[in-house]
Amino acid sequence: MYFLLLEQDGFITQLINRFNEGGPLFMSLILICFILSLCFLFSAFYYANKNETRSRKMISLVVDASLLGMVIGFMGSIIGMVMAFDAIGTMNSVSTAMLAGGLKVSFITTLFGTFVFVLSRIGILVYKWMYKL
């Protein structure tokens, strides 16, 4: 099923569009947190048998980077909602479709930040299960 999604024309385009809808600034910061979390997690696995202190430090950094990604997602969502409500306040009438569309866009950063957090936490659980911590 996953491969069918990749084969469809426009999947990457849709992904890029969602990234831009969420706001390139906040989405980029969350993406950086995700990449850092993955790098720290791979480092933790690499150093698990070689240097336990460094491995634990890397896991601590995974926790911090994933939390930062989630918080940036929430902050981006809140800022987006404040800006949307400011725009709504200046309009005379707002359709429900416009309001629903704005709310959908404001939650994209929250979704991506939570996605980063959950994947990082799954990696930490696997690490703890493998090394009995």
pLDDT confidence tier of residue 133, bands split at 50, 70 and 90:
low
Domain interval for residue 114: 27-131
Query: Looking at the domain assignment, is residue 64 inside a domain?
Result: yes
At 18-31, the pLDDT tens digits run: 888 888 899 999 99
CA gap 110, 116 in Å, rounded: 10
pLDDT confidence tier of residue 7, bands split at 50, 70 and 90:
low
pLDDT confidence tier of residue 80, bands split at 50, 70 and 90:
confident
Q: What is the pTM of this model?
A: 0.83
Give how far the C-alpha of residue 84 lies from the chain's centroid of Cα atoms, to the nearest Å. 21
Q: How many domains does the chain have?
A: 1
